[in-house]
Each structure stands twice: as C-alpha cells, then as structure tokens.
Amino acid sequence: MPVRVQASDFDAGAEIARVTAGRTDIGAIVTFTGTVRGAAHGEPINAITLEHYPGMTEAELERIEALAHERWPLQAATIIHRIGRLTPGENIVLVVTASAHRQAAFEAAEFLMDYLKTDAPFWKKEELASGNAHWVDARDTDTTARDRWAGSTEVKPD
C-alpha cells in the first residue's frame, strides 16, 4: 500500500519497518512528517480540516510516486495523507523513501512533498481560536518548489 488516504494517524517508525522488512539492499531511508502548527500568521488555531477529492487524490499520489520511481533508483516510496479534522501537533502527511544511497532518498522525498503540495487535491480549512474559519490560500513558493524539478512532461494548470 504505497499510497494511502486515511482519517487515522500513522506511525513513521512502523512505516520504515514495513519498507525495510527482510531487505538488505537498502542503505538510506528518509521520512518527512508534516504536522499541524498551533498558529497561522501569528494567530492561534483550534484545528484544521482537510477536504480531498476521493479517487483523484489516490490517482494523483500514485502518479507522483511513479514519477519519483522513474527519476531515482528507489527500493520503496510511501505516501500517507490524513483527511478530516486535525488539531495542533497532530500528523498530516508522511512520505517515506528508501534507496541504496542517501542522495536519492533525500531528493525523492523532497520531490514527493513538492509535487504533493501543488498537485494532490487536498484543501485545508483553518479554524482560528477567534472562532473564524477560512480556507488556506495556496502559496506561490510551493509552485516554485515544484518547478525546480525540471523534466516533468505532465500538463499542469498555470
């Protein structure tokens, strides 16, 4: 199950174990865990709610993962993204990459996060401590981060 969208939490250590179990051809495992911060633009938040596009989400994550496998010699790549209401400190997303060498594992993990941030159909709504709630705006820096990975042939919206 290299790609999962779920309400429940995940355990990075367990996912590393799942990827490496019984193998001796892996030398480097990188994980990225994204968590809910307790403040947004200096204002405390109570929670975020993650909406997604069932079906397309899984298809996009699988597409992104396939792109990573094309670019780097990976023994494994895992993407887990939570949905629903999450409070500060909770996990949001986990990426795990495994390769023989560290550079491939690091680059592939960054690549997966950069593409996930711009291409995977998730939307985040913040509930502020003040009682207001708003949809988070996309950041230009995320598009910039994705676009540093030259060579994608995928047609993307501007």
Partner 1 sequence: MTDKAGQPVKLRYFAWVREKVGRGEEDVTLPATVVSVADLIAWQSTRGPEYAEAFSAGQRVVRAAIDQRHVKPDAHVASAREIAFFPPVTGG
- Name the binder of 36 from partner 1, its own copies, none, CB < 5-8 A by kind: its own copies
The nearer residue to its own copies, 3 or 30, going by C-beta atoms, is 30
Q: Which of 8, 35, 130, 132 binds its own copies (CB under 8 A)?
A: 35
Q: What is the CA radius of gyration of the chain?
A: 16
Q: Which of 3, 30, 61, 86 binds its own copies (CB under 8 A)?
A: 30
Contacts with 128 (C-beta within 8 Å, 6 or more apart), sequence order:
40, 43, 44, 45, 46, 134
Q: In the range 63-122, which residues lie near its own copies by CB under 8 A? A: 88-89, 100, 102-103, 105-106, 109-110, 113
Phi first, then psi: give them for residue 105, nearest 5 degrees: -65, -45
Interface with partner 1, residue 155, by CB under 8 A: yes
Neighbours of 104 (CB within 10 A): 21
In contact, 75 and 23? CB cutoff 8 Å: yes
- List of residues contacting its own copies (CB under 8 A): 11-14, 16, 20, 22-39, 88-89, 100, 102-103, 105-106, 109-110, 113, 145
